[in-house]
Amino acid sequence: MLVEIVLLFVLVLVYAVLRDRRPRNCPPGPVEIPFFGRLPIPNAEVGEHLRKKYGDIMSYRTGPTRSVFLFDYNTARETLAKMEFSNRPDFISVISIDDQKIGGVVGSNGVHWQHDRRFVLRNLRNLGMGKCYLEVAINIEAKALVEDLKKYGGEAINYPDSFRTVALNIIWQMVASTRYDLRSEEVETIYRLTEKLRRILTGWSSLPLFIPALNKLPSSIKSAIFGDDVFRNFVEEMKNIVSGVVDKHLEDYDPDNPRDLIDEYIKDMKESEGEDNSLFRRGALNQIVSDLFFAGSDTVYNMMKWVVYLLARYPEYATRMQQQIDAVVPRDRMVSLDDKPSLPLVEAFTVEVLRYSAMTFFNVPRAADSDTIIDGFFVAKGTTVEVAIYSIHHDPRYWDDPHKFYPERFLDNSATKYTAPKQGFFAFGSGRRQCVGELLARMELFLFTAAIIQHFEVRPPHGVDISRDKYVTTGNFRLPPDNKLIYKPRI
């Protein structure tokens, strides 16, 4: 009996090795354990170690899912521009609140993605993205942020809740004509769920995404090992919140006076009722709203953490930017986008924050929709493709002294004019799925940063040295240390 068991084990092992072996001419990578492969890359240090060992294109398998990692800017840009890399991998749909799991602008594919993305881009432009009255809305939130920070009276505090709410309020007014209180319990609930979700999207807890067989475990066992309840709870809670907002819009809908993106979608959905091939659906609307919520708020929230942390860590830049602002903008007026040409260091500072922080180790993954080639290597259909943003933003081939925080790299020789990065910059992605909210995010980052610099001295508490701090890893996010900082109003 023992011989038969050993023989069966050997046969299964041989089968697994043959089934899961690396395809011919596949990008190189580390040794893969039969059946399981390897865990996802947990942080930038591991990614950089693998890059040095295997080169700018590397691959390995997690369960049956093979991933290719791109560490070079030019290779990544050329790859993501190709039609065959426009799709997302199937496992992204696990956090979709669309019952059919096919709608939205982040995780959808094919005609559904094209349809929903076109709708969002068209209506965000019509609703003000890039227009003057959107700048007014941002400055209203900037003023609210300034007043909120003044309330602490120079007390050392963690990153304030108002950072996340002011960012959310901008996109939420365009999407749902809603403005939240700076300490909204609803916003707190959503961010708490998001934080839990982010923590399990890498490492051991993410294995069921890559190994479908693990999803067949009893739910109690699966939840205990992998935290599956977090995925389910996130979807249920987010669906309840979004559905409540959309239901209210359906009750108040006036076809002659659309107020926001939700109303515009309802209008198109009602006009297309009865059409067999209409892609306007309630589930897709829910997912679009959810996607815009996170794309427009979570990213800016984390960017603002980096802004104030780096202001505190490099006070010499804060002083120079304050001098530049004071020379152009009266203290009783907020900085505007019209002031930007006169504030080159402020703009350079914000772009260097994006480069230096590299807030996400990897972009939202793509998937090859056919067998193809990347830089001479074979990539099979269904392979997940990820771009190492941290590696690109710290690549000495594109950046001098890349690990140094140095805003001057984005100024001309006279230091009087901002110069945009021409290569090696991947903060908003590239190709057909480049971030739809890039323009809005840049506006918010510039105006919120300028407001804080104009009105506050940001410092660590007395006697606290933050010069040697290291970043914090939360899922795929690279965040600054959660230090308390002082926001001292300027006299």
Closest CA to 430 of 138, 82, 8: 82
Phi and psi at residue 43, to the nearest 5°: -160, 175
Query: pTM of the full predicted structure?
Result: 0.91
Place of tokens 């961010």: 191
Q: Any idea what the CATH number is for the domain that residue 178 is in?
A: 1.10.630.10
Q: Collect the ranges in the chain with pLDDT lower than 50.
A: none
pLDDT at 209: 76
* Helix count and strand count (H, E) for the chain: 16, 11
Q: Which residues contact 6 (CB under 8 A, 6 or more apart)?
A: none
Domain of residue 485: give its range: 2-489
Q: Which residues contact 398 (CB under 8 A, 6 or more apart)?
A: 73, 392, 423, 424
CA distances from 446 to 237, 317, 324, 341, 441 (A): 32, 15, 14, 12, 9
Distance CA 329, CA 343 (A): 10
As beta bridge partners, residue 33 has: 37
User: Contact 409/352 with Cβ under 8 angstroms?
Assistant: yes
Distance of CA 125 to the CA centre of its chain: 21
Distance CA 245, CA 234 (A): 17
Question: pLDDT tens digit string along 339-386?
Answer: 999 999 999 999 999 999 999 889 999 999 999 999 999 999 999 999
pLDDT at 203: 61
pLDDT at 218: 82
Calculate the average pLDDT of the chain.
89
pLDDT at 17: 55
DSSP code string of 59-116: EEEETTEEEEEE--HHHHHHHHTSGGG-BPPGGGGGG--STTS--SSSS--HHHHHHH
Question: What's the residue count for the chain?
Answer: 491
Q: Do the annotations mark residue 132 as ligand-binding?
A: no
pLDDT at 357: 95
pLDDT at 448: 98
Closest CA to 291 of 76, 93, 80, 477: 93
- Report the number of distinct structural domains present in the chain: 1
User: Contact 40/34 with Cβ under 8 angstroms?
Assistant: no
pLDDT at 132: 73
pLDDT at 142: 96
Closest CA to 61 of 92, 30, 87, 84: 30
How far the first Cα of the chain sits from its last, in Å, is 85
User: Contact 454/322 with Cβ under 8 angstroms?
Assistant: yes
pLDDT at 344: 98
Distance CA 426, CA 414 (A): 26
pLDDT at 405: 97
Cβ density class 63-74: b for 16+ within 10 Å, e for less: bebbbbbbbbbe
Distance CA 411, CA 345 (A): 7
Question: pLDDT tens digit string along 184-205?
Answer: 888 888 788 777 777 666 666 7
User: Contact 163/145 with Cβ under 8 angstroms?
Assistant: yes
CA distances from 252 to 48, 247, 273 (A): 53, 9, 19
Question: pLDDT tens digit string along 200-225?
Answer: 666 667 777 777 777 777 877 777 77
